Amino acid sequence: MKPFPHFGKRVIHELDGIWDFAWLGESTDLEALDPTSIGFDRRMPVPSAFDAYPEFAGKRGTVAYRTVVAVTPGKAGIIECGGLGMWNRIYVDGESIAETSAPYSGVKFHVPPAEASFREIIIVSDNRFSRKRVPLQEQYFDFYAYGGIFRSVYWHEIGDRWIKRVNVSTIDLDRREIACQMLLGGSTADMADSTAVSCSVDGAAVEALGVSVDGNEIRFRLILDAASLWTPGAPNLHLLSVTTVGDEITERFGIRTVSAENRQVCVNGVPVKLLGYCRHEAHPQFGPALPIQQLVQDIQLLQDQSCNFVRGAHYPQDPRFLDLCDEAGILVFEESLGWQQNEGHFADPAYCDACEEQTRLMVRNSLNHPSIIVWGFLNEGRSDLVESRPLYTRLVAALREEDTTRLVTFATCHPMDDANLDLVDIICVNNYPGWYSRDREATRPLDEIVPTLDRIRKHMRETQNLADKPFIVSEIGAGAIYGWHDPHRALWTEEYQADHLDIVCREVMENDDIAGVALWQFCDGRTYSSSGALFRPRAFNNKGVLNEYRKPKAAFEVVKRRFGSVV
């Protein structure tokens, strides 16, 4: 099940399974923690959000996971974690090797060699809120903050030099020409003498053109005359294998370009209307540690509704899900973790650094997924404030520095007075007409939907620097309690949500001025555990078109019919 890239010459130990586990309490002093004194008296799966499990449901505190891996003595290692929750410290043989607080991000840590043939790994995981320790995740967010080891863990055995990654990008569509940038780890001494690269694509040798070596970076180009393009309708994927410095990487990629032209999003120069959902990685029994079976089901549920688009709300996505999107031809908007940050965040250098770091890491981890067409950050931040400008400018610059081949944006909920929309390639607006109604007396405020969208679009058309950018509705929706039916078709019924999304989808599909929509949301998800839940029956965000177990509400068929009517 390992997501790409693969490393064919390495010994890689997949560490998923049942690990030893300990609950260390609600008030552990993390500075004073001694890993050798932990009494491991329980077992817990990896991956797992430990607080999705009945014994620890709703608890906030510290836990420890432990396993032992049999390795080749004398070999260094890389521990690869596909995604962790909140705050974590990793120990190998009792030594702390890393601390990390980039929730949901894939992270890798180098482990020095040892003569032992067994290495003990302990991951101490803490899900307490702390602005200092976990600047990126806070209690006020409208989705539950879980802790633990969300995604698979691997131990790679490596030599003195190794391949970190290869970035593949399409530079000439007609010639099927791709640029490859390889990054190496380890000693760079004598690099130029020993950096022969040999490449194959789909099993056939290909000549690397214009090879250049600079420190631990190797660049070259490939021309793949016979290769087919990746499009949403024909998502052709190719396998690139590169061997150098005694290591081998196999990465999967697609040949395609993304652009914004004539207020449309284009793949390979062809406009594509984006039709889909915002989706949280969420399940009541697993939290965000979703089994592959669920990911495949989610892809099928998207395809069943003729969706070609998913917004990964509101954090870096599971690489297996992105692999599945690559295969299915589903276009992805991936964003770093953010939820309604304000002037306090913008003025906090530690927050801004953490945000930029995770945003860059997201691109590095996901760069080769052809499905990803948009990078984003800071969902619904106070982008109307002048104080936001430095951070928004910085994040846009960071994204463009990491990758020049995709569109950059953020989802704003301040469409009429946003201070940063000139920075982005596409305008993404979150708006809830017909739900968070202006008219508090209205019983079924459905007639707000079209005029509100019209007003926002008119504003964009009439604003300098914004008029030519594609306009996407990056959130819109209404709550419905699964199974709740009522002849009044009132708020919270399945009927109201179905009526609401019917109007939304019709408007999006019939209006050429709207380049796409990500309906809020794919399925219900657990949210606030404190008073915020007073506005969220069951303490779930109930705007899913599926409930949390993926049972369809009435709106499912409505959306399916509308999205499926594209010719």
Q: How far is the CB of 531 from ligand ADA (least distance, A)?
A: 15
Q: Which of 108, 146, 111, 139 is nearest to 125 (CA)?
A: 146
- Cβ closest to ligand ADA, residue 359 vs residue 430: 430
- Cβ closest to ligand ADA, residue 244 vs residue 379: 379
One character per residue 141-180, x = contact with ligand ADA (rule: CB under 6 A): -x--------------------------------------
Interface residue with ligand ADA, options 336, 358, 412, 541 (CB under 6 A): 541
Q: Considering only residues 501 through 540, tell me which ones interact with ligand ADA, judged by CB under 6 A.
A: 520
Q: Considering only residues 41 through 80, tell me which ones interact with ligand ADA, judged by CB under 6 A.
A: none
Residue nearest to ligand ADA (CB): 142
Q: Considering only residues 273 through 332, tell me which ones interact with ligand ADA, judged by CB under 6 A.
A: none
One character per residue 108-147, x = contact with ligand ADA (rule: CB under 6 A): ----------------------------------x-----
Q: Which of 158, 147, 157 is nearest to 123 (CA)?
A: 147
Cα 55 from Cα 39, distance rounded (Å): 17
Q: How many other β-carbons are positioned within 10 Å of the β-carbon of residue 266?
A: 18
Q: How far is the CB of 522 from ligand ADA (least distance, A)?
A: 12
Cα 114 from Cα 320, distance rounded (Å): 32
Interface residue with ligand ADA, options 238, 382, 543, 560 (CB under 6 A): 543
Please state the φ and ψ torsions of residue 163, each to the nearest 5 degrees: -90, 125
- Cβ closest to ligand ADA, residue 341 vs residue 379: 379
Q: How far is the CB of 495 from ligand ADA (least distance, A)?
A: 19
Interface residue with ligand ADA, options 126, 380, 403, 494 (CB under 6 A): 380
DSSP secondary structure string, 382-411?
-TTSGGGHHHHHHHHHHHHHH-SSSEE--E
Q: How far is the CB of 377 from ligand ADA (least distance, A)?
A: 13
> What DSSP character marks residue 112?
-
Beta strands 118-126 and 87-92, pairing class: antiparallel
Cα 204 from Cα 229, distance rounded (Å): 18
> What DSSP character marks residue 368?
T
Number of chain positions touching ligand ADA (CB under 6 A): 9
Q: Considering only residues 248 through 267, tell me which ones interact with ligand ADA, judged by CB under 6 A.
A: none
Is-contact 128 59, C-beta < 8 A?
Answer: no
Q: Is 433 left (phi over 0), alpha (psi -120 to 50) or beta?
A: beta
Q: Considering only residues 419 through 458, tell me which ones interact with ligand ADA, judged by CB under 6 A.
A: 430
Is-contact 219 181, C-beta < 8 A?
Answer: yes
One character per residue 464-483, x = contact with ligand ADA (rule: CB under 6 A): -----------x--------
Positions of E strands within 422-532: 427-430, 471-475, 516-519, 525-526
Interface with ligand ADA includes 383 (CB under 6 A)? Answer: no
Interface residue with ligand ADA, options 308, 366, 379, 497 (CB under 6 A): 379
Task: Give the binding site for ligand ADA (CB under 6 A).
Answer: 142, 379-380, 413, 430, 475, 520, 541, 543
